[in-house]
């Protein structure tokens, strides 16, 4: 296949530097005329020693060299070049047609091998293939430089994964992790060791395959908690963009520690009764539903206690709503100081409170309710004096719905009212 020089163009390959090494004068002059018509930057040497000096001086993209020369051989020169450059294109020309020479060329990562006397069409085709590879490498280099520039302009933690290994990252990633180069990432999976185990955030079961687990969630994002090598801890929203063509994954990690803290505060505030600082009814019902599922799964008992303040309307009518609010706050404080951390206490309605007691049967809940009743009964409320409460207790059993359980405890509380108030009914 002959390659002709394009019209109206002095050289076919403007951006490729060539080093041509040949000790035989006739062959050198013949190929040099061909190379000079196609390349604008050609450097010529007569042996391997001179060729290597020219290589270090000009750093050519394409090296064309004979193997047998009087001084340093072409293979020795190629071996030295490969120590500096693994990607340079190398075409070998030789009159030796034997397996040993061919194996030596392979060992020295020679790209193409052409026998003498040189067939011009084959030689031009080899040049074309090498130039295409050089141009591809240069284009990839440009893209990598662009990617690197884009990475460094971002404040977010960014890193790129290829075939399961992190191949690049930005300064923000390095600052947080303390990882300076990608070699350490290949030696050990340091990124996986950054994950902190927390039920609220993504945590891989198998740290060696954390990327696979990340995508098994069928999402391209997850909230993760990371702890750096310097014990700095942060919460990140990790998003992934998968480039299937190049088999690369770009991970973008935005720190959301402040947002998470704000979210938790807002979540707590939204679940609290603003007056009594106990949980509100909506949050209690959510937790009750969860406890029902847990009880049915593990067959663990739990009970609920419903209480309301006796004659609370009279307190508001005679002493005013401000005093009524003070009574609600005081009773909420008394109960919260008496119960366990695992118990769930909420304001159910205007003057009603409800309590969930895990791992507690009805008898245990009755004892707790009675102790709370006694504490309230003996407390001296400023300007008001004595205030009492009526209590209902109900125990959950498998198969009972949430509505049925609440109905039972409400009926028990109502029975306490009928019996004269200030008492506990199971």
The answer to whether the beta carbons of residues 195 and 207 sit under 8 Å apart is yes
Distance separating alpha carbons of residues 264 and 290, to the nearest angstrom: 19
Which tokens belong to 342? 């695992």
**Cβ atoms 252, 158 nearer than 8 A:** yes
Residues 64-96: tens digit of each pLDDT: 998 877 667 788 888 899 888 888 899 988 887
Rounded CA separation 13/89 (Å): 15
pTM, to two decimals = 0.49
For residue 366, CA distances in Å to 9, 324, 347, 424 come to 99, 27, 19, 7
CA angle, corner 129, sides to 124 and 135, nearest 5? 120
pLDDT at 7 over 60: no
Structure confidence by residue, pLDDT tens digits, 271-299: 999 999 999 999 999 999 999 999 998 89
pLDDT band, residue 11 (cuts 50/70/90): low
Q: Pick from 226, 93, 248: which is nearest to 168 by CA?
A: 248
Mapped onto helix, strand or coil, the DSSP state of residue 62 is strand
Q: What is the pLDDT of residues 126-156, one digit of tens each?
A: 999 999 988 888 887 777 666 666 666 667 8
Residue with token string 């803290």: 261
Top-ranked range on mean pLDDT: pick from 181-185, 236-240, 412-416 = 412-416
């Amino acid at each position: 296949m002959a390659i002709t020089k394009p019209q109206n163009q002095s050289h076919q390959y403007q951006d490729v530097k060539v080093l041509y090494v040949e000790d035989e004068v006739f062959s050198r002059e013949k190929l040099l005329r061909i190379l000079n018509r196609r390349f604008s930057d050609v450097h010529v040497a007569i042996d391997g020693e001179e060729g290597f000096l020219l290589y270090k001086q000009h750093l050519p993209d394409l090296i064309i060299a004979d193997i047998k020369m009087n001084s340093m051989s072409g293979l020795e020169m190629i071996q030295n070049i490969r120590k500096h450059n693994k990607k340079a294109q190398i075409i070998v020309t030789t009159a030796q047609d034997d397996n040993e020479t061919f194996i030596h060329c392979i060992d020295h990562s020679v790209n193409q091998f052409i026998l003498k006397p040189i067939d011009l069409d084959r030689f031009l085709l080899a040049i074309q293939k090498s130039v295409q590879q050089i141009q591809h490498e240069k284009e990839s280099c440009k893209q990598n430089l662009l990617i690197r520039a884009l990475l460094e302009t971002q404040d977010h933690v960014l890193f790129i994964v290829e075939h399961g290994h992190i191949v690049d990252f930005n300064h923000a990633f390095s600052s947080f992790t303390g990882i300076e180069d990608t070699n350490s990432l290949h030696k050990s999976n340091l990124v996986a060791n950054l994950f902190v185990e927390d039920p609220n955030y993504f945590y891989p079961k198998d740290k060696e395959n954390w990327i696979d687990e990340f995508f098994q969630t069928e999402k391209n994002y997850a909230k993760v908690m990371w702890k750096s090598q310097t014990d700095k801890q942060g919460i990140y929203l990790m998003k992934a963009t998968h480039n299937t063509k190049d088999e690369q994954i770009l991970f973008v990690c935005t720190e959301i520690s402040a947002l998470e803290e704000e979210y938790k505060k807002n979540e707590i505030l939204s679940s609290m009764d603003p007056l009594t600082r106990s949980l509100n009814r909506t949050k209690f019902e959510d937790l009750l539903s969860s406890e029902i599922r847990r009880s049915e799964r593990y067959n663990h008992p739990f009970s609920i206690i419903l209480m309301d303040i006796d004659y609370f309307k009279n307190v508001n009518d005679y002493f005013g709503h401000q005093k009524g609010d003070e009574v609600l706050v005081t009773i909420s404080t008394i109960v919260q100081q008496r119960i366990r951390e695992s118990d769930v206490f909420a304001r159910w309605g205007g003057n009603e409170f409800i309590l969930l007691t895990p791992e507690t049967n009805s008898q245990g809940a009755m004892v707790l309710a009675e102790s709370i009743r006694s504490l309230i009964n003996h407390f001296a409320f400023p300007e008001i004096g004595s205030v009492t409460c009526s209590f209902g207790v109900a125990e959950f059993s498998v198969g009972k719905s949430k509505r049925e359980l609440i109905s039972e405890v409400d009926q028990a509380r109502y029975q306490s009212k009928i019996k004269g108030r200030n008492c506990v009914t199971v």
